[in-house]
A = this chain, B = another copy of it.
Amino acid sequence: MATHHFTPERYYAAIGTYEPVLQIADGDTVVTTTLDAFGNDAAGRAVGPRPNPQTGPFYIEGAQPGDTLAVHFDRLWPNRRDGYTSTRLAPNVVDPWYVLEFPKQTEMGVWELDLQGGTATFTKPQTNLMPFTLPLRPMLGCFGVAPAGGEAISCATSGPHGGNMDYKGFLQGATVYFPVFVEGALLFVGDGHAVQGDGEIVGTGIEVSFDVQFTVHLHKNRRIHWPRAENETHIIAIGNARPLDQALQHATTEMARWLQSDYGLDQVGAHTLLGQCVEYEIGNVFDPAYTVACKVAKSILPKV
């Protein structure tokens, strides 16, 4: 149960089977930092590739394909005072004809973060939305494990291995579960958002570099098909795909399986519970693969 303080020196813009930067054990904690989506660090220096450069990979001792890796976010917090957003809705989230009314050029939005007070304030460009201050709600947009089959997948997108899911539910306190596809699992973390709406519909959260602390646990011989997560109130299955319909299909299928394998429900029970109680959240509708979270409240789950 060691705690490792790790200072990254290089970053990856794809998630694949690269040389590990640190080997850690089941139960260990890592304290590290991540760059923002554009490759800039806490001092604003451009030190990593685009998009969404990753810190890692971290090799988890004993992890083998067919296991599940649990990653608990102990701490997620911005480590500098300026964050950046797009100021125009992504053309793919509005009616195609409405795009004809869009400005052809836009300016990057700049936010001032109060790291003690826990707020983000929009500072430019000028808009009559101002003054506009939001509470910080720090989350990781892109993180995951090395995919199967020798793939190295761009940090622009996501899949069964995680990646750029941009789901605002990946907050401090959440535990995320990944299928292990390669020896050592090879965990990557990056792409902190100080705040993000559902769907990441301008194509960004408030992009900023982060301090990150996480703890890993290994579940041997436990095979899952998609990332899963858990917080105080819900269990959550993630689906990543386009269109949204397919992301929802993946997430719902994974949840139906989960309820039967881990909560002992028969099929009628699992389907009936989902039918009247399921909750969905839209992670992102911007990246090449969209993300849907399928949630069930712990309060209605069978006790196991």
Point out the residue from B106, B253, B269 that lies within 8 Å of A98, measured CB to CB. B253
A94–B249 touching, CB < 8 Å: yes
Chain B residues whose CB sits within 8 angstroms of the CB of A244 once the complex forms: 243-245, 248
Q: How far is the CB of A228 from chain B (nearest CB, A)?
A: 16
Chain B residues whose CB sits within 8 angstroms of the CB of A128 once the complex forms: 264-266, 269, 302
B125–A268 touching, CB < 8 Å: yes
> Measured between alpha carbons, how far is A282 from B244 in the docked complex, in Å?
11
Point out the residue from B104, B149, B156, B276 that lies within 8 Å of A85, measured CB to CB. B276
Asked whether A269 and B129 contact (CB < 8 A) given A149-B14, A198-B280, A204-B275, the answer is yes
Asked whether A89 and B256 contact (CB < 8 A) given A242-B243, A280-B282, the answer is yes
Number of copies: 4
B99–A129 touching, CB < 8 Å: no
> Measured between alpha carbons, how far is A175 from B253 in the docked complex, in Å?
34
B276–A150 touching, CB < 8 Å: no
Q: How far is the CB of A291 from chain B (nearest CB, A)?
A: 12
> Measured between alpha carbons, how far is A271 from B203 in the docked complex, in Å?
11
Chain B residues whose CB sits within 8 angstroms of the CB of A300 once the complex forms: 134
> Measured between alpha carbons, how far is A103 from B268 in the docked complex, in Å?
10
**A-to-B contact residues, CB < 8 Å:** 12-14, 16, 49, 85-104, 106, 109, 122, 125, 127-130, 132, 134, 149-154, 156, 195-206, 241-246, 248-250, 252-253, 256, 264-282, 285, 288, 290, 300, 302
